[in-house]
Structure formats: structure tokens, C-alpha cells
Amino acid sequence: MFLISGIANFGGPGTGAPGSVLMLYGLDINRISCDSIFNLLCSYGNILKVKILINKPGTAMVHMDNPQAAKNALQHLQQTRGMGNTLQLALVARMVLHDCCAKLFFVAFLNMTT
């Protein structure tokens, strides 16, 4: 299970389709946010959800609206320099990103701070 430091829903109730989830690697952990990932990828298609993973520093998952948008982002951003590092992108077999892990993380975080 991945722990999540940030999650943002940018889309409506859309579920996307198989092949519409991307993994991004090589992100600068000091500069990255859900909004900056959205800005990086929004010109390639609609973004439904962004998750930044804390147990894999510099890694994020992005749920695009359709597989073609994910393929466009992969084709144009693979091995490009951005946000301080060389970006690596990969398509994921997952159909959708769920919020359950994020809810568990935030509950655990709230329990630690009280």
C-alpha cells in the first residue's frame, strides 16, 4: 500500500478508462505539489486526480480522463527535464485511483497530531 502526502480531485464524477493512469518518477520533492503536476499535464488532456506518494519520494500517480491523454503525456514528457530532474513516465494497469488510502493516511495523521 502506498502512503499519500497529497491528493487532489480535479475532475468530476468521471471514472476514466483502463490505461488512463500514469506514474511519474523523478519529481523534485521540494518543488512538487498536486497543482504543479496538474499544470504540467493539463495540456495533454483532462486530469481527474493526482496523488503524490510519500513512501516513494519523487513519485506521483495521475489519473487522466482517457487513455489517449495518458499516451500523449507519456509521448511528450518522457525523459524531459523539468522540476529539477529528468522525468520518467509509465502507464499503469490500474483502471482508477481510489481515495481510500488517502483517507486512511489523513486519519492516521490526525491521530498522530492530537
Tell me the average pLDDT of the chain. 76
Quick: pLDDT tens for 28-45.
888 889 999 999 999 999
* pTM score over 0.95: no
Residue 112: pLDDT over 50: no
Task: Tell me how many degrees the CA angle 3-8-15 measures, rounded to the nearest 5.
Answer: 95
Quick: pLDDT tens for 41-64.
999 999 999 999 988 989 999 999
